[in-house]
A and B are shown apart, each in its own frame.
Chain A
Amino acid sequence: MRSDGLSGAKVSGAQAAPTGEPLLEIRDLYTHIVTPRGVVRAVDGISLEVAQGGAVGLVGESGSGKSMTAFSILRLFPTAGARTISGSVRLSGRDLLRLSEEEMRRVRGGEVAMIFQDPATYLNPVLTVGRQVAEAYAMRSGWGEARRSAVRALATVGLPDPEAVYGRFPHELSGGMRQRAVIAMATVCGPSLLIADEPTTALDVTIQAQILELLARLRKELGTALLLITHDLGIVAETCEVVYVMYAGKIVESGPVGSVLVSPAHPYTQGLMAGALTIEEARPVVAVMEGTVPDLANLPSGCRFHPRCPKVMDRCALQPPPEFAVAEGQMAACWLCGESPA
């Protein structure tokens, strides 16, 4: 295992904030997209925390709003018409939503970095890998120092012969190597938070194992906290400490991975877990949930899961449920989960 790490880059922001404070604290975040079809309520009042150096999973199906949550943190939206309406996104106590565009630019790629599903689309095909890795660092220092940092970062992510890789073009690397290069690009400035949106979905399972091990190692060696967005419950079980389950723009359940995935309280999480297949045993395939995720521009009344819920009650269609505490650190937004809102 290499120990040179990213020692040349600025020390991780992990030490900057007072202890006990979460690194990232999202409160009542609303991000809506104005489209010709109407307002798409992609993120509709969610709260989420990531501890210093922690690993948090954000799980959901497509159309649940999990990627839009990540884009809201970075204030970068892939679609026109997307806008954060209200809420706060505090990073080490500072509300990112109140920063100027110039200040925000320093946060991106500095304190917060993001990697995506398809590494090929996020690399510029006509620039060398090294130049792209060095770029974020060069914004803060000169190119000479940036080049040295980039080579170190390429070594840290486990690319063999980093000096040679520095001069290569993206098409000369395999998919797994490209994702390593993208991770080097994201971590060259020593971010305190790495947001990874389906980082291994496009990769083969043996390469996925390599990348997940790399992310775990970066956490350990650099203290980089991880917000991992995925649809794969197995990846969450193996990588994360805390999990948030998202459905139709809302967090429906959250808590320690050992609680939520072992004794899920929300019928949606229960459905996901009941339908989860595993290499450990030949489970009968059961389709617990009928239908699909609702259209975010045309949401059901009350609890958004009620049309698909096997345990639906009269109340569910009328009133959206608040979050109830169901166990130590575990919350579920479901009327079945008790009388006392958390």
Chain B
Amino acid sequence: MTTSILAGLFRVLVFPGLLFTAIAGMAASWVDRKVTARVQWRVGPPLLQPVYDFVKLLGKEVIVPRGASRVAFLGAPLVGLAGVTFAAALTGSAAMSPGAGFTGDVVVLLYLLVLPSLAVIMGGAASVNPLASVGASREMKLVLSYELPFILVMLVPIIRSGGLLSLGELLRYQAENGAFLWSASGLLALLAAIPCLQAKLALVPFDQAEAETEIMGGALIEYSGAPLAVFRLTKAMMLIVAPAFLVVVLWGGFGASVASALFGVGKYLVLLVIAILVRNTNPRVRIEHAMRFFWGPVTGLALLAVVLALLGV
């Protein structure tokens, strides 16, 4: 009993949970900054830059705005960190040992992956600042708009596998019958999921909540020091968890052998590079345009994918 609790704690806190995803997330965020710099014909930061940023922020003064609720202001980043940590632990465990999942963990993961955005909304609303409120309201609108096609995309593997709701079982199904991606419905699902991924990672063209040039940091304008470090760490960890989740659910996961695990990492890198390149070649869109985009073409594509999945294609 105690060994399974310890094993659970290890999975959540060390591997594939907090420690592993934090380090991998910082590496992914460095890749993002370096590729962005190179695309702009610049040199870019050194490899350990995200670590320097994190450690530096831990040493800065923490200022809570007057009139803000201390609990909400200081607790919001922890909510986001908890969400992404548990999401990482669940996804990683299912990917490594498909039998370890439990029924319904796809649904749980959908909830957990919303928590970082919810944390930004909470933090922005708790800062007594009009620009932070604008950022929080934009993030709310964004979440409302991209969650719809994202959930529809999640329906595709569930329908095609005949109603399996566990990550482990979905992986086993894909191991036997081929990844969902190699079917018409799966392909359309991934295409619809990519803009949702961009919005979940808060990358341009969907980073309205934290638009730094426009609303001066947006929802995070009042944050400094350790809470800001936690928000940034959560964002870096999402760079690992969200594409990995898509790989597990739609692209066959990471597999059991070393070769297929490396292949899985390659699949993850494809999604990451797509996200980075989209980020570097697009301007930030207005929030109304983003909402119209998600509720229009992206939902249409996702609906088409669901219909095709129901038809068995």
The answer on A and B forming one complex is: no
| Chain B residues engaging chain A, CB cutoff 8 angstroms | none
